[in-house]
Structure 1
Amino acid sequence: MSTNEMTGGEAIARMLKAFGIGPMFGMGGFQLLPFYDAARRIGLDHNLINDERCAVFIADAYAKVSGRVGVCDATLGPGATNLVTGLVEALNAGSPLVVFVGDSHRLHSWKNMTQESRQTEILRPACKELIRIEMVERIPELVRRAFQVATSGRPGPVVVDVPEDVCHATHPFDDADFEADEACMSAPSLRCRPASADLEAAARMLGDAARPLMLCGGGVHISGATAEVEALAHALNLPVAHTMTGKGAIACTDPLSAGLFGRYDRIANRLIEESDCLLVVGCKLGEIATKRYTVPAAGKRVIHLDNVAEEFGRTFRPMLRLWGDAREGLRDLHAALAPEADTIRARQQPYAEDVAARMVAWRKSVEARLTSAERPINMARLLNELNKAMPADGILVADGGFAAHWGGLLYDTKRPGRGFVPDRGFASIGYGLPGAMGCALAAPGRPVVGLTGDGGFNMVMGELETARRLDLPLTVIVVNNAASGYVKALQHLMYGAGAYQSSDLVEVNYAKVAGALGCTGIRVEDPNEIAEALRIGIGSENGPTVIDVVVTRDPALMLPGVDNRTVQVRKGDRVA
């Protein structure tokens, strides 16, 4: 066994190498310089970012699509505090991340060190766990701990705080110190199964139901349970509805798909109302998914399968709680129902046919919007063209707010799996471009499109330089309405035409912006030009493409609904 004297920074780099991490992003400072030097020497795929928040967004999207741990870093002070928004996204969404931040030299802490702040106190609520390394010799142990915590239970981000003197200090490490737990390289690293008695009760409830319905959230993707969702749905003729993050639990084009439920839905909310047994899988039943806690209605028979016990009863009291991993729980539930599956499937055939017929009728009822020739362009037409252009293995990344809601309602995945990636953990705008970068890195060869508003793109457009530097073949669609569209639409709804405050943007040609940054830029003002622009962007292998789509400026038509429905606002309720 050989012993090597090395810095703490090199020890961190060697541990990351042992865990086989993918691309990581950061912006260095003096505190982490030994780590940067070691990353160069041992061949870590480390890349400079222009804004630390985007580093976390990239890591988050990478983790969502690959299932592997996303890694990034930041220097102390403003570098560390810039991480907060992305960390909360990962925390709420269940994305496994390990994030390193430099900190001040302990000998000089609290003596007005440059950029010093109480960063551990700021970051602690934004992550699953914060680990501060106080002794250089403990680095291998604590990095292993970070990966273990990030990938177990509900996955999440772990922050590793590294004081300057610990990173620069040296210690004689043994080769055996740099061992990684292979199970903790991806999430979930551990799985638990619901109790057998609870599974038997759930099987009886589903077997006796006349109109059962499965409601899937993002936990289905975290667990890697889409094959199990599809298998159980087809075995029983069990229709499936989904949240925004649960899209792809089964293919949206599957006859058993009931589409999005909650605030924006196609046919799912009525099916929930008519159902006599709901199977909720990997879903927190939050505000948007439940249409502000009104769907399902109180008293519904609900079976809730989740691996986080604290979620049971938080927003809806289920009749039966199944505490366990979604994949394992669905497998066991399928096995329990197998003896009766043929009988149930035959009995449910007319119900399944009714669901499929309702979806066909819904599509027909909104066809005029989906094929609209309006100028400026109707959002429904844009999403319809995207549905036609995207191959089955494509990934759509939807930025927060406006883009996520339109995409959640209208975008159709063509196969089960994570083909739709919205940042619904925190719903921050600015995710579209860096999220697309993370997906492109996680799934090379798969077409990646980011859908973002002009406001969100304004926040992060500097990362086009990063995407170009890495020659990432991705497409970003900028929904250009010269406004903070969601806010302007709500102001119109609440206060009437013309009552707009701080919601307008100056007109910008983002295709020219892209060109100035060395990327391909295409501006689309005619809906008949959308298909060709998408063909060029999705088919390109020459770095990033930005498609600047000029959409409606009418705030009465901006709300994310294919029929631009009139939203009734209850007295005292300020959310549409």
Structure 2
Amino acid sequence: MTESSTRDADHGRPVSGGHALAEMLKICGAGPMFGMAGFQLLPFYEGVRALGMEHILVNDERTGAFAADAYARLTGRPGICDGTLGPGATNLVTALVESLNAGVPVIALTGDTHRGHSWRNMTQEARQVEILRPAVKELIRVEAVERIPELVRRAYTVATSGRPGPVVVDVPEDVAHAEHAFAAGDFHADLATTRVPARRTRPDASDVDRAAELLARARRPLILAGGGVHLSGAHDALLRLAEGAGIPVAHTLSGKGAIPCGHELSAGLFGRFSRYANELIESSDCLLVVGCKLGEIATRRYTLPAPGTPLIHLDIVAEEIGRWARTPIGLWGDARAGLSDLATALEPSAPSDDRAAYLLEVRRRRAAWARDARARYESDEVPIDMGRLIGELNRTMPEDGVLVADGGFASHWAGLLYDTKRAGRGFVADRGFASIGYGLPGALGAALAVRGTGAPVVSITGDGGLNMTVGDLETARRAGVAFTLVVVNNAASGYVKALQHAVYGAGHYQSADLAETDYAELAGSFGCHGHRVEHPDELRPALLKAMAARDAPSVVDVVVTRDPGRMLPGTDNRTLTLQPGDRPA
């Protein structure tokens, strides 16, 4: 508790509900907050000012919630955002669903109507509670000002426990403006729930033993790592298990960095686009799934793994185990705790000679893929090949760098070709909802999360993604953060145009083209640095110059191929399910 609030409480001087809300967030260690005020939450904003907290005005509430999401992914602390009554609250929905699906702790404050006037057609009134409730893990409605400290603690507990997720704290106008003489003891935090994971649970010991026995017998085991590895901080435990038992590790888009991409046991991305991990899954005789929901993209539209493949699933949410794939062994618990227990159970067992031959095969597959991929990484094509762009990022990003990838093909290209250099969340992609428009706000939140460390933040977004949030370049410049925003400029909604090309053939494009725009010039008008890149030899100098700028964000506008047949890193498996009669003659 701050000195001023303690004094007020000791003397019984009333403070507003909004001030109490700010006070509790400060006690819980809230970092930078993002939002746009309205009358309902004015006392909260005044509390933020009085307490010297950091709050960043955004130009769209979705930007604030996306920035809070990225901040939370990198710090483990709930990101904080707010929206006022009506449109402010409903603008949060898309970003909150991203956090819900991805298991990211976010606390969103929403102002609501004065309860004495509700349903009298108040300005901007909407059924926002009903709209927001399915978009979050829990919606907490504050009905009494004196309960604010208790309910903020509750919000943190829900956001950080089990599978993390977003929580809405809905505050009616009269509650925010009301005053109450809080007691000094009202203001305290439960430190166990101010970051993820709040509390760790262990899988049943007998289930762990069964899983260890199955892994020990396997000749071709494989670990499939999802974003839950990051949420649990299970990197060291995963590496201990993989190295000790000699088990390769493949990852989802959200799981990149579960182990370093350069590690000899890394099998890279699996699912819709894959280096060679899909082939390993198809031939595996035991799969250990960790912190992964086995959704559409990860399973290549539910064709992986093959029916009958022995499956062990470790997840913090019991309901995810066996959702659609037959799972003989389910391990319900925290990823780090479960992996540690598995590693301990497996330590007496040495990998067999068959396992050694398998690992040699994995190394050969890795070397073969690297040889085949070299042409993409080193392409001299003009317009620029996406593979060359990712190759330059691999060469220029330091070990502690953070790459943010917007939804759409930016995340698929980076997920397939980008290599993190150490374990940890060095790659941030909005794969919970895969909404376009995450690139800029994600960079803002990530840059604030690593502020002071010197770690560079680079974000890849499409031109369509930047068009959705370009107004918040002003927000980023005003916030005083520096990051590099790489715009993949193909003058199109690239993924959609590529799919139209694959399904209907050349020339069958509808509502997929954008106007040619110089985003470097646009960046300059926002007071940011702008670099236009049209030749591959210009990529590295532009990236280095942008990453060295520390006084404002930098936009690197990269002109890439306009050929819709080459806009994706591979064949999208969805197009393979179409029958010949589904295509135009």
Is this a same-fold pair by TM over 0.5? yes
Letter in 2 for 1:290: T
Q: Give the drift of 1:565.
A: 9.9
1:108 equivalent in structure 2: 117
Secondary structure at the aligned position of 1:173 is classed as coil
Is 1:207 equivalent to 2:229 in the alignment? no
1:129 equivalent in structure 2: 138
The structure 2 residue matched to 1:6, chosen from 11, 15, 21, is 15
1:81-132 Cα shifts (integer Å, max 9, x gaps) = 0000000000000001111000011111111100110000000000000011
CA contact (8 A) 1:235 1:345 kept: no
Letter in 1 for 2:550: E
1:527 equivalent in structure 2: 536
Secondary structure at the aligned position of 1:522 is classed as strand
Secondary structure at the aligned position of 1:142 is classed as helix
Pairs within 5 Å for 1:29-68: 29-68=38-77
The whole-number CA distance in structure 2 between the counterparts of 1:358 and 1:347 is 17
Secondary structure at the aligned position of 1:98 is classed as strand
Is 1:411 equivalent to 2:411 in the alignment? no
The whole-number CA distance in structure 2 between the counterparts of 1:271 and 1:3 is 67
Q: Give the drift of 1:559.
A: 1.6
2:478 equivalent in structure 1: 469
Letter in 2 for 1:372: S
Is 1:383 equivalent to 2:390 in the alignment? yes
2:405 equivalent in structure 1: 398
CA contact (8 A) 2:107 2:155 kept: yes
1:63-97 Cα shifts (integer Å, max 9, x gaps) = 11111111111100000000000000000000011
Q: Give the drift of 1:339.
A: 1.6
What TM-score, normalized to structure 2? 0.96
1:25 equivalent in structure 2: 34
The structure 2 residue matched to 1:366, chosen from 369, 373, 376, is 373
Secondary structure at the aligned position of 1:462 is classed as helix
2:442 equivalent in structure 1: 435
Distance 1:165 1:565, change over 3 A: closer
Distance 1:310 1:566, change over 3 A: closer
1:218-263 Cα shifts (integer Å, max 9, x gaps) = 1111111011111111111210000000000101111111000111
Distance 1:52 1:263, change over 3 A: same
CA contact (8 A) 1:423 1:431 kept: yes
Which of 281-290 and 312-321 deviates more?
A: 312-321
Letter in 2 for 1:570: L
1:283 equivalent in structure 2: 292
1:465-521 Cα shifts (integer Å, max 9, x gaps) = 111112211000000000000000111111111111000000000000000100000
Q: Give the drift of 1:348.
A: 2.9
The whole-number CA distance in structure 2 between the counterparts of 1:573 and 1:443 is 52
Secondary structure at the aligned position of 2:487 is classed as strand
CA contact (8 A) 2:145 2:176 kept: yes
The whole-number CA distance in structure 1 between the counterparts of 2:35 and 2:143 is 22
2:149 equivalent in structure 1: 140
The structure 1 residue matched to 2:254, chosen from 242, 245, 251, is 245
Unaligned runs of 5+ in 1: none
Which of 347-356 and 12-21 deviates more?
A: 347-356
CA contact (8 A) 1:236 1:348 kept: no
2:579 equivalent in structure 1: 571
Q: Give the drift of 1:369.
A: 1.9
The whole-number CA distance in structure 1 between the counterparts of 2:267 and 2:38 is 50
The whole-number CA distance in structure 1 between the counterparts of 2:296 and 2:434 is 12
Letter in 2 for 1:418: R
1:219 equivalent in structure 2: 228
Q: Give the drift of 1:345.
A: 7.2
Pairs within 5 Å for 1:399-548: 399-444=406-451, 445-548=454-557
Letter in 2 for 1:515: G
Moved over 4 A (4+): 563-567, 572-575
The whole-number CA distance in structure 2 between the counterparts of 1:256 and 1:4 is 62
1:6-62 Cα shifts (integer Å, max 9, x gaps) = 110011011011101100011001101011111101111111111000100000001
What TM-score, normalized to structure 1? 0.97
1:344-377 Cα shifts (integer Å, max 9, x gaps) = 1776333222212211111111222221111111
Pairs within 5 Å for 1:229-240: 229-240=238-249
CA contact (8 A) 1:286 1:315 kept: no
Pairs within 5 Å for 1:232-311: 232-311=241-320
Secondary structure at the aligned position of 2:382 is classed as coil
Q: Give the drift of 1:149.
A: 0.6
Secondary structure at the aligned position of 1:547 is classed as strand
Cα RMSD for the two superposed structures: 1.6
The whole-number CA distance in structure 1 between the counterparts of 2:30 and 2:536 is 42
Secondary structure at the aligned position of 1:288 is classed as coil
CA contact (8 A) 2:383 2:561 kept: yes
Secondary structure at the aligned position of 1:199 is classed as helix
Q: Give the drift of 1:570.
A: 2.5
Is 1:560 equivalent to 2:580 in the alignment? no
The whole-number CA distance in structure 2 between the counterparts of 1:294 and 1:176 is 56
CA contact (8 A) 1:558 1:564 kept: no
The whole-number CA distance in structure 2 between the counterparts of 1:558 and 1:419 is 25
Q: Give the drift of 1:574.
A: 9.1
The structure 2 residue matched to 1:327, chosen from 336, 339, 345, is 336
Letter in 2 for 1:568: L
Secondary structure at the aligned position of 2:348 is classed as helix
CA contact (8 A) 1:4 1:174 kept: no
CA contact (8 A) 2:222 2:248 kept: yes
Distance 1:574 1:487, change over 3 A: farther
Distance 1:574 1:279, change over 3 A: farther
The whole-number CA distance in structure 2 between the counterparts of 1:109 and 1:476 is 43
The whole-number CA distance in structure 2 between the counterparts of 1:80 and 1:183 is 29
Secondary structure at the aligned position of 1:366 is classed as helix
Corresponding residue pairs, total? 572
The whole-number CA distance in structure 2 between the counterparts of 1:406 and 1:345 is 36
Secondary structure at the aligned position of 1:446 is classed as coil
Distance 1:574 1:357, change over 3 A: farther
Secondary structure at the aligned position of 1:155 is classed as coil
The whole-number CA distance in structure 2 between the counterparts of 1:203 and 1:2 is 60
Q: Give the drift of 1:275.
A: 1.1
CA contact (8 A) 2:24 2:152 kept: yes
Secondary structure at the aligned position of 1:461 is classed as helix
The whole-number CA distance in structure 2 between the counterparts of 1:415 and 1:211 is 25
Secondary structure at the aligned position of 2:100 is classed as helix
2:3 equivalent in structure 1: none
CA contact (8 A) 1:477 1:546 kept: yes
The whole-number CA distance in structure 2 between the counterparts of 1:288 and 1:2 is 58
CA contact (8 A) 2:503 2:575 kept: no
CA contact (8 A) 2:219 2:352 kept: no
The whole-number CA distance in structure 2 between the counterparts of 1:10 and 1:117 is 25
CA contact (8 A) 2:72 2:79 kept: yes
The whole-number CA distance in structure 1 between the counterparts of 2:518 and 2:305 is 44
Unaligned runs of 5+ in 2: 1-9
